[in-house]
């Protein structure tokens, strides 16, 4: 083979290898999850509090990983539940958040996440009852947390009883056993703030922090705070 031919062959093989690597990384980071950003910036008049409603389900029930635990968010425009964990919020605004927790719970690896932090008054409400600390070794334990490390926000989401008829696949209807947790916080200035669950709920993965814990649109995402 001529020098030119060899060069062309090597160049083609190199480009194929680079393409495969890029494709693999992209596929790993977005394994069949829906994309997009849920926009909450136009749901209320300027200065008015924004309502944000989510639910946590023990199994999403569809898509590439139907058995994975996941968050779902209520589309503020259509009212439908969608699997998207990047939420666009207005800056310096009061956010009223409601979490419908359909999953069971257990002891926390670190009870530090059993304390409500960063919310208005450092409290949340569990089925109408205020709480600031939840003992994860008692009762139904903690199923998940909603935590924004960069804003020091943490809310333990108390689990439902495992003996109840737990919702098997999301989105779950309010007729299924669930806990309603509400709290409020104020968004800071513009920026991207990572949020996640601090319960290692990626069962079957190393330390429970792989799978849904390490995949966008399941147990973590971003608060995309804009002007």
Q: How far apart are CA 165 and CA 159, in angstroms?
A: 13
Instruction: Among 133, 164, 169, 173, indicate the residue that binds another protein (CB under 8 A).
Output: 133
Q: How far apart are CA 113 and CA 196, in angstroms?
A: 12
Question: Least Å distance between CB 107 and another protein?
Answer: 4
Q: Are 125 and 205 in contact (CB under 8 A)?
A: no
Counting contacts by CB under 8 A, is residue 109 touching another protein?
Answer: yes
Residue 46, phi-psi category: left (phi > 0), alpha (psi -120 to 50), beta (remainder): beta
Q: How far apart are CA 68 and CA 53, in angstroms?
A: 20
Counting contacts by CB under 8 A, is residue 190 touching another protein?
Answer: no
Counting contacts by CB under 8 A, is residue 154 touching another protein?
Answer: yes
Interface with another protein in residues 68-107 (CB under 8 A): 106-107
- What tokens appear for 26 in the block? 């992209």
Counting contacts by CB under 8 A, is residue 6 touching another protein?
Answer: no
Counting contacts by CB under 8 A, is residue 191 touching another protein?
Answer: no
Binding site for another protein (CB under 8 A): 106-112, 114-115, 117, 122, 132-133, 135-137, 147, 149-150, 152, 154, 194, 196, 198-200, 203-210, 213-215, 220
């Amino acid at each position: 083979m001529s020098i030119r031919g060899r060069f062309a062959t090597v160049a083609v093989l190199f480009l194929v290898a680079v393409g495969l690597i890029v494709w693999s990384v992209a596929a790993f980071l977005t394994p069949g999850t829906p994309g997009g950003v849920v926009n909450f910036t136009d749901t209320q008049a300027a200065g008015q509090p924004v309502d944000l409603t989510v639910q946590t389900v023990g199994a999403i029930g569809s898509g590439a990983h139907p058995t994975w635990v996941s968050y779902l968010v209520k589309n503020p425009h259509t009212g439908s539940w969608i699997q998207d964990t990047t939420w666009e919020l207005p800056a310096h605004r009061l956010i009223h958040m409601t979490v419908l927790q359909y999953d069971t719970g257990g002891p926390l690896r670190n009870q530090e996440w059993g304390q409500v932090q960063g919310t208005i008054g450092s409290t949340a409400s569990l089925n109408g009852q205020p709480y600031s600390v939840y003992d994860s070794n008692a009762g139904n334990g903690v199923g998940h947390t909603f935590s924004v490390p960069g804003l020091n926000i943490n809310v333990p989401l108390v689990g439902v009883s495992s003996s109840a008829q737990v919702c098997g696949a999301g989105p779950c209807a309010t007729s299924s056993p669930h806990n309603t947790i509400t709290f409020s916080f104020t968004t800071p200035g513009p920026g991207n703030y990572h949020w996640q669950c601090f319960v290692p709920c990626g069962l079957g993965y190393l330390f429970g922090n792989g799978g849904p814990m390490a995949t966008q649109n399941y147990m973590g995402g971003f608060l995309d705070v804009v002007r």
